[in-house]
Amino acid sequence: MAAEPQTLDRVFDLIMRSLVDTGVALHYTELAREMGCSAEDGRTLLYDLCATDFPAWLHPDTDWIASFPPFSNIPTPHKITIDGEQKWFAQ
């Protein structure tokens, strides 16, 4: 059974804030800690979010976020620099 929309909204917010603040998306174990749930539940929440219409995707055969638009969690030639700081990649 998929997570409730409000829960997925919180998962989205946590991942997006991680990307904005650090340039790196949360791993599902970090997500679980933030959500106050088990690592396996955190993994399930990540998969539930990726199963929605939001175009995020995981790197093939892994549980690592590859793309979380507009950000890429994998370095690309499309670097984003703000106020001289480059810690983000775009798709």
Q: Catalogue all structural domains in the chain, each as residue range(s) with its CATH number.
A: 5-90 (1.10.10)
pLDDT of 1 over the 80 cut: no
Q: Alpha-carbon distance 37 to 59, whole Å?
A: 23
Question: pTM, whole model, 2 decimals?
Answer: 0.92
Task: Please report how many Cα atoms fall inside a 13 Å half-sphere around the Cα of residue 24, on the Cβ side.
Answer: 7
The DSSP secondary-structure symbol of 56 reads -
Q: How confident is the model at residue 2 (pLDDT cuts 50, 70, 90)?
A: confident
